[in-house]
Structure 1
Amino acid sequence: MSTDGLRILPLAVTMMMGPQIMSAIILVTSPRAVRVSLAFLAGVLAATTAGVMVMLGVAGLVGNAVDLGSPSDRGSTGHIVEYVLVGLLALLALRNWLGRKTAEPPKWLGTLMSAGPSRALAIGLLVILLMPSDLVVMLTVGIHIRHGHGNVTDVVPFILLTTLIAALPLLGRLLFHRHAEAATPALRTWMNTHSWLVNILACLIFILLILF
């Protein structure tokens, strides 16, 4: 694996923080947990693959129009774009903090307990392709790879790790069946009432990963 591929790997953590991992947790407590979870994972894998490829194309167009500069130059255009993304994430984190008292998880999360495989597949696609935070992450991945003159294969570990993180609730259920069944509902409740905190943590982790 190249250096570029290694540096973007931690960004996979932020891909699944928020409604994304909450969806995986809810689905794994549903009556058809395994079937719907596998469908959800297929959606996440497909959406992450498509999203990253599109963002690589966007970053390539930007790189052709504007010289992104050297990765070692902290003042290069490529790094400036990343700093702009950091600013947007900081504003998003501030917005979540200010609205924490009235924050509620998306209403559609409450419908997932009765979701079938087709709906779970659609949710897996949409929680990646329609989430602004994930679009920013995938754009950052694209810019980083293009800035470092990497290639398409460098994003494969990122895509696989994102899918693996999405699969953790299902793996936990399969490996620790009884304990997982007892603990998952409590975790689901906590994440529903602290969705604002999960979103803030996702933004802060993303900012630290970009800057350092």
Structure 2
Amino acid sequence: MDVPILPLAITMMAGPQIVSAIILVTVPHAVRVSLAFLCGVALAVTGGVLVMLLVAHLVGGGVSLGSQHDLGSVGNIIKYVLVGLLVLAALKNWRGRETSEPPSWLSGLMTAGPSRAFSVGLLIIVLMPSDLIVLLTVGVHLTQGGGSGFAGALPFIVLTVLIAALPLLVRLLFRRRAETAMPAVRDWMNSHSWLINIGVCALFVVLILSGG
């Protein structure tokens, strides 16, 4: 098990991703809809890991990524560039906090069925820049760390899907309490999306630097 990449699963679902999961447990037929969403997430994360492993392998084949302990290695330089991009993203969210609004497509999830939930679960990973950065980091880390490959990414994939499933698990376990609490949680996360995005960027920066 490649432990250093496991915390990155948290950043995969932080932000609009977990908000989507919370919204979907408040819709009619929530269990069926949420399961479709989880299938989309699982497919996207699995496919994304495979693609980024291939990218890291191709880059490593032409240019050595070097050791994780060598601060000047190509692999670590890639991580530092990602950190810089995340810091800029956090500053952008801070500057725009007064006018920040959640993506318009989030409100449309209130009437989502299984097919749309599956599409959202898939696209919210493959089209989200922060998630692509996470997947690239995973690919570089696994390639740079000795080539554990896809098998080394399996715990990361499982943990990501488990985090995505937390709102559904809470609903199933607590039922009426969850049905009452989830809409309030959803509304708070929608109105504080800028703060969540900054938190995600900060957490990701810490994870990249501590895992390097």
Cα deviation, 1:90-120, whole Å, max 9, x if unaligned, reads 0011100100111100101101111110000
Gaps of 5+ in 1: none
Would you say the 8 A contact 2:33–2:117 is kept in 1?
yes
Q: CA deviation at 1:77?
A: 1.3
- Note if 1:8 corresponds to 2:5: yes
Residue pairs, 1:140-179, within 5 angstroms: 140-149=137-146, 150-179=148-177
- Note if 1:181 corresponds to 2:179: yes
Alpha-carbon distance between aligned partners in 2 of 1:51 and 1:210, rounded to the nearest angstrom? 18
Alpha-carbon distance between aligned partners in 1 of 2:149 and 2:39, rounded to the nearest angstrom? 24
Which residue type is aligned with residue 10 of structure 2? V
Secondary structure in 2 matching 1:203: helix
Match of residue 124 from structure 1: 121
Alpha-carbon distance between aligned partners in 1 of 2:104 and 2:150, rounded to the nearest angstrom? 36
Moved over 6 A (4+): none
Choose which of 59, 72, 75 in structure 1 pairs with 2:69: 72
Q: TM-score, normalised by structure 2?
A: 0.97
Residue pairs, 1:1-212, within 5 angstroms: 1=1, 5-149=2-146, 150-212=148-210
Would you say the 8 A contact 2:53–2:149 is kept in 1?
no
Gaps of 5+ in 2: none
Q: CA deviation at 1:152?
A: 1.4
Cα deviation, 1:167-190, whole Å, max 9, x if unaligned, reads 000000000111111111110010
Q: TM-score, normalised by structure 1?
A: 0.97
Q: CA deviation at 1:75?
A: 1.9
> Taking every aligned residue pair, what percent have the same amino acid on both sides?
65
Alpha-carbon distance between aligned partners in 2 of 1:141 and 1:125, rounded to the nearest angstrom? 18
Aligned CA-pair RMSD: 0.7
Number of aligned residue pairs: give it: 209
Q: CA deviation at 1:72?
A: 1.7
Secondary structure in 1 matching 2:27: coil
